[in-house]
């Protein structure tokens, strides 16, 4: 018994790391779901509902995390303002929609606005610190920026919860589970952003210079890449991603100036889980965390599901410290 266990363990580990992480994660998820369906002792419709809700919630998490993973992976900046930037994007969409624009059109306008905002923030506040390689500098600057954004929003909009109605309301039935249209659209948006971002990184000259700067900024500078510009563009893209996230989330979120804060920590968990700088990793990580949180809530009420999220996080880091899609450094 003991011999067999020790004999199989290394084999198992080899297959785990050799496999495409997506296949591995999918296998684990399918096995766990099968177990829950068969012996979980829960109503089947309820399990399906939690599965669908979890995937949709995971899509939202993924959307918030892809921008963060880019900033984290390329610039090495721990961007504590990610949640506040998300809130800022939501309020831009709110302001535009109270002016009469439909939410999704307002989102399209908010994206370039946030892109420019991100570029300005990086160029004015962060580039010097990034080049000097300081770690706590950017951390403090983004923390300060986060406080500034939250309090300016509080000053302008007040703290009363605001809401935005989606032009497409109602819900759709997926395998007997109910999913609201705005959440489905957010999920589709997350998938599109992930595909578009991967394409930009892999197939455009900009993507090439971003990847070059990410892997060796000194070398990139020597071959003539304007790294200050790449830094600014990268932060801008990160900000544009949260703009998409914020816009797609406004129809099902109550807006208060601190609403984005709760996502910051989860987004970091997802980014590290997926592997620093990996867009695909952020998407898979987001989906996994969404599923764990929602399906876990069936068995562990209250904060229990969040504890489960952190348990999975620690487990993955233990088995694969570089994250699902991270390169070994």
Partner 1 sequence: MKKLVGVLTAVAVMGAAACGSSSGSDDSGSIKIGSVHPTTGALAGVGGLMNDGAALAVADINAAGGISSLEGRQLELVSGDSQGKAEVGQSEAQRLIDEGAVALVGTYQSDVTQNVASVAERSRVPLVIDVAVDDKILDQGYQYSFRMQPNASSMGTDGAKALAAIGQQTGQSIDKVSYLHIEGSFGDSVFNAFEAEAANQGISSVQEITYPATNFSDATTQVREAAVSNPDVIVATGYYPDGLLIAKAVQQLNLKVKGVYGIANGAFDDSSFPAAAGAAGEGVLSANYHFDATSERTNEIRGRFQQQFGRPMETAAMLSYQAVEVIAAGLEDGKDTDPEALRDAISGVSIEDPLLAFDGPIEFDETGQNKNATVIVMQVRDGAVAQVFPAEFATDAIEFPVGAGQ
User: Residues near 303 by Cβ (< 8 Å), separated by ≥ 6?
Assistant: none
Please report, for residues 29, 94, 242, 243, 254, the alpha-carbon distance to residue 257 in angstroms, rounded to integers and kept in the order given.
35, 12, 15, 15, 10
Site map (CB under 8 A) of partner 1, residues 13-52, x = contact: ------------------------------x-xx--xx--
Candidates 26, 131, 154, 191: give the one binding partner 1 (CB under 8 A): 154
**Interacting positions 159-178 with partner 1 (CB under 8 A):** 159-163, 165, 169, 171, 178
The strand ranges marked E within the chain are 171-174, 177-180
Under rule CB under 8 A, residue 258 binds partner 1: yes
Longest Cα–Cα distance of the chain, Å, equals 70
Candidates 56, 119, 185, 279: give the one binding partner 1 (CB under 8 A): 56
User: Residues near 52 by Cβ (< 8 Å), separated by ≥ 6?
Assistant: 174, 175, 177, 178, 179
Task: Name the minimum Å distance from CB 294 to partner 1.
Answer: 5
What are the beta bridge partners of residue 171? Answer: 180
Q: Rounded distance, CA 263 to CA 301, Å? A: 20
Q: Rounded distance, CA 170 to CA 184, Å? A: 11
Nearest CA-CA partner of 89 in 153, 144, 162: 153
Candidates 113, 208, 252, 310: give the one binding partner 1 (CB under 8 A): 252
Candidates 151, 204, 215, 216: give the one binding partner 1 (CB under 8 A): 151
Under rule CB under 8 A, residue 305 binds partner 1: yes
Under rule CB under 8 A, residue 261 binds partner 1: yes
Candidates 41, 100, 205, 302: give the one binding partner 1 (CB under 8 A): 302
Candidates 180, 209, 234, 250: give the one binding partner 1 (CB under 8 A): 180
The site for partner 1 (CB under 8 A) is made up of 43, 45-46, 49-50, 53-54, 56-57, 60, 151, 154, 158-163, 165, 169, 171, 178, 180, 183, 252-254, 256-259, 261-263, 266, 293-294, 297-298, 301-303, 305-306
């Amino acid at each position: 018994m003991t011999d067999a266990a020790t004999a199989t363990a290394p084999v198992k580990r080899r297959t785990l790391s050799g496999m495409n992480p997506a296949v591995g994660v999918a296998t684990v998820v399918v096995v766990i779901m099968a177990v829950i369906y068969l012996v979980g002792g829960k109503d089947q419709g309820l399990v399906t509902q939690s599965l669908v809700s979890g995937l949709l919630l995971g899509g939202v998490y993924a959307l918030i995390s892809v921008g963060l993973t880019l900033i984290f992976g390329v610039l090495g900046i721990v961007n504590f303002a990610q949640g506040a930037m998300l809130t800022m994007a939501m309020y831009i969409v709110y302001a535009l929609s109270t002016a009469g624009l439909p939410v999704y059109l307002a989102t399209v306008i908010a994206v370039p606005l946030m892109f420019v905002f991100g570029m300005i923030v990086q160029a004015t506040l962060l580039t010097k610190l990034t080049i000097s390689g300081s770690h706590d500098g950017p951390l403090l600057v983004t923390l300060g920026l986060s406080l500034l954004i939250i309090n300016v929003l509080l000053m302008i909009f007040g703290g009363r919860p605001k809401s935005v109605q989606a032009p497409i309301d109602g819900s759709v039935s997926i395998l007997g589970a109910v999913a609201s249209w705005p959440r489905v659209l957010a999920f589709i948006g997350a998938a599109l952003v992930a595909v578009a971002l991967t394409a930009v990184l892999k197939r455009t000259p900009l993507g090439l210079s971003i990847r070059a700067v990410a892997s060796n900024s000194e070398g990139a500078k020597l071959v003539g890449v304007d790294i200050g510009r790449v830094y600014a563009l990268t932060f801008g893209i990160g900000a544009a991603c949260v703009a998409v996230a914020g816009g797609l989330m406004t129809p099902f979120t109550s807006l208060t100036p601190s609403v984005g804060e709760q996502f910051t920590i989860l987004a970091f968990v997802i980014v590290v889980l997926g592997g620093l700088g990996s867009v695909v990793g952020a998407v898979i990580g987001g989906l996994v965390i969404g599923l764990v949180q929602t399906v876990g809530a069936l068995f562990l009420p209250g904060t229990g599901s969040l504890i489960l999220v952190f348990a999975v996080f620690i487990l993955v880091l233990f088995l694969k410290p570089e994250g699902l899609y991270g390169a070994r450094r």
